Amino acid sequence: MVFKRLKSVPKGAQASPWLIIGFSLILVAVIVVLAVVNARREERMVREILLDKGGALIRAFEAGTRTGMMGHLGQGTQIQTLLEETAKQEDILYLALTDRNGRILAHSDPERVGGRLMDGQEFTALNASQEEKWRLARTVDGADVFEVYKNFTPLEGSDSTGHGMGYGASEHRGMGNMDDFWCSGGWRWPRRVQPGIAEEEPVIFIGMDVRPFEQARAQDMRISVVISAVLLLLGFAGVVSLYWAQSYRASRRMLQDTRALAAEVVSNLPAALLVLDTEGRISLANESAEGLLGKRHSDLVGRSGLEVLPSELSELLTGAGATRQIERELDAAIPGRGRVPVSASVSGITTEDGHQVGMVLILRDLSEIRQLQEEVRRREKLAAVGRLAAGVAHEIRNPLSSIKGFATYFGGLFEEGSENKESARIMIREVDRLNRVITELLEYTRPMEIKPAPVDVTDLVAHSLRLVREDARVSGVDVRYTPNGPLPAKLDPDRISQVLLNLLLNAIQAMDTGGTLDVGLARKNGHLTISVRDTGKGIAPEDLGRIFDPYFTTKPSGTGLGLAIVQKIIEAHGGEITVESEPGKGSTFTITLPAEAGQSSEAA
């Protein structure tokens, strides 16, 4: 392991140009965004001002037209005259009145009357209505113009009920004749046109000069650019100053942060880690090392590794060099745990110039891995035995059927009560018993089908106890079970009942001279626990590791498949079954199931 020395220049200082460029780009982006937002806000304000001004002029023009109608002030070219006079106002480029096809009925420029302001398709796209609308257009000489338009409704402001100045009252209130209000080109205001009918009403356009507003906005933009440049320079200077002030504090904290990070990583490392100096003293040990070696932190740090470590590990330390790395699996004698299988790795810590500054020892507890390997071997052995037993069972079942048939036939040849008749019955019973053994064997070798369903485990245990109550009474066994409320779970009720009956009957049969059967039920940490404890003769230590093997039994008449099937059912539910026993004092079988048992519907 090569230890690289930190450079004298902090890494952050080496990257300072990029950091400054990044901050500068951010400042530029912020200032540009603010400038764009401000420009758009000014553009929106100019648009609103022009729209309000155009709308006010249109309403004033409609009022003037309406006044002319009431006072008989206009004949022939009245609207044309009003347009020309209104267009003389400042910033007004033109006023135009068109029909629904875009033909100019009146215009502030008399020479354009009778022509077209736009084609019909473009006019239709404007969708003129009673509400003022706007668009950006361009004059013949290429000047930009802000155009406000709406339906021209001079009568809209009068009362259409006949009690004011509406169209229905024109003949009674002295309003001028509508037919007299015509524009150049021969267009007359038709009598059939009613105010508010957009399909027949003419459209008025007001074109306003936007150059004064554009000049003012350009001036504001120049001022904004100057202010933005000043802000950018100030921000840039501030960023540089802040960076160099911060870099000093960052370089001072760098070593502290590195040490804290290394300590956190070492502390949370799942493997045991010990660092030794050049004299062989332990300078660092994480919590995993304390737990694996069974020693406190004060008993390790500062002590010689040869003194506090097991002899098997001490030999590795003496064999490790500056460049040599040793990896080995061994059984280390750990106080309080006996011999524990561990994987040890020792390597030297060397600087870039080849100088050794210590050693690092990494230990991994292999106990769980060894247990898993042993479990895999056990399952493989059981699978092989199961396949062999299944083949033998099929070969035995066929002749058993023939034997039972012949025994039944010969039994019928003898009189009731005769010795031959009884022998035939014994033969039939033994054949049936052997057939049941074969059935259990085949059931064990087949995939375990689980049909989980919501059940109350409390009721399930109570039901199983009722089934064995008579056996317990005959054997003089006192059954103790105190339900503590419903415990819902999702599991196969028939299979779990089979498991409970097997364990309960085994416990009762283990107490042939009487005793106590204690059944417990609890839910802890998301798991369901069922315990069956008896005060029988117990199980010998050498038999504890074999009781779940098929065909292993301590009963004279047992088949040795009961507990094997029990274990298979529990494992199919995603749980496990364990046993604790002390000869002469009894045994305790504990079933642990997940909260949602039956995770798989089938298990091999």
Q: What's the pLDDT tens digit per position in 406-465? A: 888 888 888 887 888 888 888 888 888 788 777 777 777 677 788 899 999 999 999 999
Q: Give the model's pLDDT for residue 477.
A: 92
Q: What is the mean pLDDT of residues 475-485?
A: 88
Whether the pTM exceeds 0.75: the reply is no
18-22, 32-36, 218-222, 513-517: segment of lowest average pLDDT: 18-22
Q: Is the predicted pLDDT of residue 22 greater than 70, yes or no?
A: yes
> What is the mean predicted confidence (pLDDT) over 109-121?
83
Q: pLDDT grade, residue 580 (50/70/90)?
A: very high
pLDDT at 602: 42
Determine the Cα–Cα distance for residues 302 and 308; give it in Å rounded to an integer.
10
Q: Which residue has the higher pLDDT, 150 or 73?
A: 150
pLDDT digits (tens, 9 = 90+) for 142-170: 778 888 898 888 766 544 433 334 444 44
User: For residues 457 and 83, which has the higher predicted lDDT (pLDDT)?
Assistant: 457
Alpha helices in 15-104 (DSSP H): 16-70, 78-86
In this structure, of 29-33, 253-257, 297-301, the range with the lowest mean pLDDT score is 253-257
Residue pair 42/221 in contact by the 8 Å Cβ criterion: no
- Cβ atoms of 184 and 96 within 8 Å: the answer is no
Say what the pLDDT of residue 461 is. 93
Q: How far apart are CA 241 and CA 422, in angstroms?
A: 111
The structure tokens listed for 523 are 């839910």
Mean pLDDT of 35-41: 81
Tokens of 389: 């037993």
Taking 70 as the threshold, does the pLDDT of residue 82 lie above it?
Answer: yes
The interaxial angle of helices 493-509 and 562-572, nearest 10 deg, is 150
Tell me the per-residue pLDDT of 237-250, one tens digit each, with 9 for 90 and over: 777 777 777 777 77
Domains of the chain: 14-154+197-268 (3.30.450.20), 271-365 (3.30.450.20), 451-598 (3.30.565.10)
d(C-alpha 150, C-alpha 91), whole Å: 19
Q: Which two tokens stand for residue 287?
A: 């919590």
Reported as a pLDDT band with limits 50, 70 and 90, residue 200 is low
Please give the average per-residue pLDDT across 295-300, as a whole number.
Answer: 82
Per the structure block, which two tokens stand in for 447?
């995939």
Give the pLDDT mean for 536-557.
Answer: 82
How far apart, in whole angstroms, are the C-alpha atoms of residue 52 and residue 148?
A: 9
For residue 190, pLDDT beyond 60: no
Q: Does 140 score more than 80 pLDDT?
A: no
User: Do the beta carbons of residue 310 and residue 336 sit within 8 Å?
Assistant: no
**pLDDT higher than 70, residue 549:** yes
- Average pLDDT for 563-591: 90
- Residues 6 or more apart whose CB falls under 8 angstroms from that of 357 comprise 3, 277, 278, 349, 350, 351
Assess whether pLDDT exceeds 70 at residue 509. Answer: yes
Task: Supply the pLDDT for residue 159.
Answer: 45
Vertex 502: Cα angle to 501 and 508 (nearest 5): 85
Q: What pLDDT, in 10s, does the model give residues 201-210?
A: 788 999 888 7
The b/e string for 16-39 (b: 16+ C-beta within 10 A; e otherwise) is eeebeeebeeebeeebeeeeeeee
Three-class SS of residue 156?
Answer: coil
- Measure the CA–CA gap between 437 and 557, rounded to whole angstroms: 11
Helix (H, G, I), strand (E, B) or coil at 546: helix
**What pLDDT band is residue 171 in, cutting at 50, 70 and 90?**
very low
Q: Could you give the angle at which helices 419-445 and 367-411 cross, rounded to 10 degrees?
A: 150
Backbone angles phi, psi at 106, to 5 degrees: -150, 145
Please determine, for residue 543, whether its predicted confidence score (pLDDT) is greater than 50.
yes
pLDDT of residue 315: 78
Whether residue 183 is predicted with pLDDT greater than 60 in this model: the reply is no
Segment 114-136 mean pLDDT: 84
Cβ–Cβ < 8 Å for 22, 371: no
Say which residues have a Cβ less than 8 Å from residue 344's Cβ, sequence separation at least 6. Answer: 313, 316, 326, 327, 328, 329, 330, 332, 361, 362, 363
Region of poorest pLDDT, from 114-123, 124-133, 254-263: 254-263
Residue type, position 168, single letter: G
- Check the CA dihedral 361-367-368-372 and report its sign: positive
Listing from the earlier edge strand, what are the strands of the sheet with 104-107? 104-107, 92-98, 203-209, 144-151, 133-138
292 versus 533: the higher-pLDDT residue is: 533
The two beta strands, 2-3 and 187-188, are unpaired
CA distance 95 to 80: 10
Alpha helices in 277-366 (DSSP H): 287-293, 297-300, 305-308, 311-319
Task: Classify residue 506 as exposed, middle or buried by CB count within 10 Å of its CB (0-12, 13-18, 19+).
Answer: buried
Q: Which of 397, 408, 381, 460 is nearest to 434 (CA)?
A: 397
CA–CA separation, 366 and 258 (whole Å):
31
Please give the structure tokens belonging to residue 363: 């230990």
Interacting residues of 283 by C-beta distance below 8 A, sequence separation 6+: 275, 276, 277, 301, 302, 358
More confident residue, 35 or 174: 35
| Pairwise CA distance, residues 123 & 145, whole Å | 17
Q: Mean of the per-residue pLDDT values for the chain?
A: 78
**d(C-alpha 17, C-alpha 212), whole Å:** 45
User: Residue 220's Cα: distance from chain center in Å?
Assistant: 50
Give me the helices (H) in 91-167, please. 120-126
How large a percentage of the chain has pLDDT more than 90?
11
